[in-house]
Every structure is written in C-alpha cells, then in structure tokens.
Amino acid sequence: MRRGPLFMILAGLLFTVMLGLVKVAREELSALEVVCWRSVTALPLSFVLARRAGIAVKSRRTLLVRCVLGFGAVFGFFTAAKGLTMAQLSLVSKLQPILIAVLAPLALGVSEKSDKSVWVVLGLGLAGSALLLSPDLSSGSIYGLLALFAAVSSAGAHVAVRALGKTDNPFALVFWFQLFLCVAAVAAFVATERTLLPLPPAHLWWTLVGVGVSTTLAQLAMTRAYQLDKASTVAAASYAGPLFAVVGDILFFAAWPDAWALGGGALIVLAGAWLVFSPRQAP
C-alpha cells in the first residue's frame, strides 16, 4: 500500500472541511478577511508543531515560490467560494493534478515523469469528477475563472512542495507558509480597504478557528504525501476531493447527488483504489 496517496486523501478530506467552513464565513466576510483570519488562527498550532521539529529551511527561494503561488491559490479559491458550490469548486480544482503531472518532470527532472498507469488514473479521476459534478457546473462565470487561476497557482505550489519535501521537514514548511499568508493577506487588506483589519463577528470565531485548524492539518498531510511519492501520483489521489465535497453539500447544504453523480463517484473510487494499491516502481 502506498502511503503518499493515502496522506493526500486525508488532506483532501481536511481541505473539504476547511472549504465548507470558508463558505459559511464568506457569507459575511470578504475573501481577504477570511484568508487573514485563516492564517491568524492557524499560526499558533503550526508554530508549536514547527518549533519542536525546528523551523530552519534550507531551500529559501523555493519556499518563496511556494508561498507566492500558494497565496494566489488561496485567494482565488476563497474568492470563488462565494459564487460556486463546494462541488463546482472541487471540479475546477481537479485540473490541478494534470498540470502537476506535466510541470513536475519539467521542474524537478525525469525522475518525476508519470507512469502510464498514473495517466490512466488521471483520466478516470477527471471523468469521474465531471460526471459527479456536471449537473451544477457553471465555470464560465468570473468565479469559475478565479477558481481556474487558483488551480494553476496551486499546481505550481504543489510542485514546489515536492521539491521542498526532499530537503526540509513539513512542520517548518507549513509554519512559514502560514506566516507568509498572514502578512501578505493583512498587507493586501490594508492596501485595498484603507483601514485596519476589523475583528470578525463573535458568532464566526469558532468557524474561523475551524478553518485554521483544518487547513494546518491538511497542509501537514499534503506536505508529508509529497515527501513519500512522486508529485503526479500524489496529486492524482486528490480526486477523492469531489466525493468529500458532495458529501459536504449533502450534510451542510442539502444538495443531493443524482445517478450521474453516483457513477462518477464509482469511477473516482476505482481510480483511488488503483492508485493506493498499485506497486511503487523503483526510481
């Protein structure tokens, strides 16, 4: 059993929890405010975890690239969350694994070249996602374009995470990313709104704490996944995300899947099982 894809599936579940909480917060807060409070609430936990493991980072340039692209991805997804359902967001984001499969060998070398089986999994996962979510897809809107921008930025960030995972520990990487997000988001808010960041409504505090905790744990699981396996293989495991998104829509937003969705879910489960239980080839 391959642990890299399993960690990515766990990360997908945690990111879906985060996304559901973000949708609740976005009813009353701007995208930048949610990004700010996400980082503020995530920093204490990520710092405690990183301090015990050490916060020094060797590849600072790569870390900066990861942080800048990650900020673009987070801002894009959080902005798009206001106008798209969880399922729609999840489908647009599923372009990311294909982009990673293309970018990783170019950026990191031939050792990251995808096996043919991974491309089959990517195809199954994308087809399953389309079937799962197609009744509600409306990615032609500005929110859809923002989600697409976020997917491209996220793909680049994940390739950088794969590179960083070869030299640095995941706790330090998550801490520095959260710190960068916090500073960048607060600076962007002050620059655009011409005012200091206001406190959120009291009834949203626990929602924002949930965003911070779930995103920290998701980032740790994702970073660990990229340490354990090829970027394209790990990214393909993220196709479990739409399944979690549909479950989230059912539990929290009363949106039930149809027969097409069930068929798409079956394809995704098949692709995920193939990926997790396939033998890992020697580098």
Q: 160: closest CA among 226, 77, 93?
A: 226
H helix and E strand count, the chain: 12, 0
Q: Report yes or no on 161 lying in a domain.
A: yes
User: Which residue intervals of 54-95 are DSSP H helices?
Assistant: 60-80, 86-93
Overall average pLDDT of the 254-272 stretch: 62
Kindly report the number of other CB atoms within 10 A of residue 61's CB atom.
Answer: 8
pLDDT digits (tens, 9 = 90+) for 53-83: 788 888 899 999 999 999 999 888 888 877 7
217-250 tens-digit pLDDT: 999 999 999 888 887 778 777 767 767 777 777 7
In a domain, 135, yes or no: yes
Whole-angstrom CA distances from 212 to 21, 192, 234 are 10, 23, 23
Q: For residue 261, give every residue at least 6 positions away whose Cβ sits within 8 Å of its Cβ, in sequence order, or none.
A: 131, 132, 133, 135, 246
The predicted pLDDT at position 47 comes to 92
Determine, yes or no, domain membership for 168: yes
Judge contact between 85 and 136, C-beta under 8 A: yes
Choose between 244 and 114: higher pLDDT: 244
Query: What is the structure's pLDDT at 139?
Result: 46
Record the pTM: 0.76
User: Residue 283 falls within a domain, yes or no?
Assistant: no
| CA–CA dist 52, 123 (Å, integer) | 41
Domain of 88 in residue numbering reads as 3-277
Number of domains in the chain: 1
In sequence order, what DSSP letters do the residues of the chain get, joined into one string?
--HHHHHHHHHHHHHHHHHHHHHHHTTTS-HHHHHHHHHHHHHHHHHHHHHHH----S-HHHHHHHHHHHHHHHHHHHHHTTTS-HHHHHHHHTTHHHHHHHHHHHHH-GGGPPPHHHHHHHHHHHHHHHHHHGGG--TTSHHHHHHHHHHHHHHHHHHHHHHHTTTS-HHHHHHHHHHHHHHHHHHHHHHHHSSPPPPPPGGGHHHHHHHHHHHHHHHHHHHHHHHHS-HHHHHHGGGGHHHHHHHHHHHHH-----HHHHHHHHHHHHHHHHHHHSPPPP-
Q: Is residue 29 part of a domain?
A: yes
For the record, the structure tokens of 68 come out as 């800048």
Q: Is the predicted pLDDT of residue 213 greater than 70, yes or no?
A: yes
Residue 282 lies in a domain: no
